[in-house]
Structure 1
Amino acid sequence: MAQKVETRLVDDLDGSEAVETVRFALEGRQYEIDLSEGNAARLREGLAAFVASARRAGGARGGRTAVPASTGAAVSSRKATDREHGAAVREWARANGFEVSSRGRISTEILTAYEQRS
């Protein structure tokens, strides 16, 4: 007899279908939350200015992974996502008259302007 097991994620905020599990830490405590695409974006946008101004603490590099509702397998890493986001911010900043280096931390001023763009 064959069996098919399917895992479905439910957004922990609003009960809608979740598309990923977001892992994060605050004050030494680890958390994870299942979120829809929109709620995951809201979480990341809300923390973006704080993350941009923070310094990394010790320990292994890692972070969030997207977990598809049907498989539970990790499909994206924080490092790749951060790199793509940084490239997009730098491209936007240059196109809008900001001076931004090609490497290193992006200033809070530029990140704030990027997040508030219309």
Structure 2
Amino acid sequence: MAQHFQTRYIDDLDGTDLGETANTLSFAFDGKDYAIDLSDENAETFRQVIAPYIEAGRRVTGTRTKTTRTRSTSGNTKAVRQWARANGYDVSDRGRIPANVMDAYTAAN
């Protein structure tokens, strides 16, 4: 049996059925990326509204996302394990200490 799948777009702003084609616009604001499907009319309105801000702004390229590291316990994993067991956490004698346990230990100390 053959199957046929069809993608239909809905205007994210006003709910209009756009059929199989849409203007998918991507933009970023306050460090977050967005995509929105719009009709021709709403896409043009969006472009007109945002145009002065784009003209006044500057392009940012080559940005990298920052990675966060778990706070170090200064190598004192024995104390962390003892604290975790005393506070109801199940931790092994060896290996990596789960992040939620490390976070709780850091918050408590």
Return the TM-score normalized by structure 1. 0.47
1:57-115 Cα deviation digits (max 9, x unpaired): 1238xxxxxxxxxxxxxxxxxxxxxxxxxxxxxxxxxxxxxxxxxxxxxxxxxxxxxxx
Q: Using the alignment, how far apart are the partners of 1:58 and 1:21 within structure 2?
A: 21
Aligned to 2:5: 5
Partner residue, 1:52: 55
Unmatched tracts of structure 1, length 5 or more? 61-118
Which contiguous aligned blocks of 4+ residues in structure 1 show a shift greater than 6 angstroms? none
The letter of the residue matching 1:28 is: G
Unaligned runs of 5+ in 2: 64-109
- TM-score (normalised: structure 2): 0.51
Task: Find the aligned partners of 1:55 and 1:48 in 2 and give their Cα distance.
Answer: 12
Contact 1:11 1:35 in 2 (8 A): yes
Mapping 1:93-104, distance limit 5 Å = none
In 1, Cα distance between equivalents of 2:24 and 2:9: 8
Q: Which has the higher strand share?
A: 2
Q: Name the CA distance, whole Å, in 2 between partners of 1:8 and 1:53.
A: 36
> 1 or 2 for the larger relative contact order (CA 8 Å, sep ≥6)?
1
| SS of 2:51 mapped into structure 1 | helix
**Separation (CA, whole Å) in 1 of partners of 2:43 and 2:17:** 12
Q: In 2, are the aligned partners of 1:9 and 1:20 still within 8 Å (CA)?
A: no
Matched residue pairs, number? 60
| Max Rg structure | 2
Corresponding position of 1:25: 28
- Describe the SS at the equivalent of 2:48: helix
Identity %: 43
Q: Give how far 1:3 is off.
A: 1.2
Please give the root-mean-square deviation of Cα atoms over the aligned residues, in Å.
1.5
Match of 1:103 in 2: none
